[in-house]
Amino acid sequence: MDVKDEDKSEESKQNHIIYYKSLTKIIKNMENEIEDEGEPAVKEHLKSRIDAIEKDRQRIRDLFPDMKREEWDDNAD
């Protein structure tokens, strides 16, 4: 299987920052849903989705190791 090299250009970095911000908002919304939800199965489903999104956020951070975690979080507003 061919593995494609990730684009690490400045334009790609900016696009990934935008995507990262959207993932952060999705996680916050899901966390709010978990608080409001009474059904344990739904809560577990939301938690597993958050875990998957967190893995994607980590993948994005790993693409640009020159940025510190705090910078990503500061950019997530």
pLDDT tens digits, one per residue of 17-52:
999 999 999 999 999 999 998 899 999 999 999 999
Whole-number CA gyration radius for the chain:
15
Provide the mean pLDDT of the chain. 87
pLDDT of 7 strictly over 80: no
Residue 21 lies inside a defined structural domain of this protein: yes
Residue 73 lies inside a defined structural domain of this protein: no
Give the residue numbers spanning the domain of 31. 9-36
Counting the structural domains of the chain, the total is 1
pLDDT of 4 strictly over 70: no
Residue 30 lies inside a defined structural domain of this protein: yes
pTM above 0.95, yes or no: no
* C-alpha distance from residue 15 to each of 31, 46, 58, 60, 67 (Å): 25, 26, 15, 10, 14
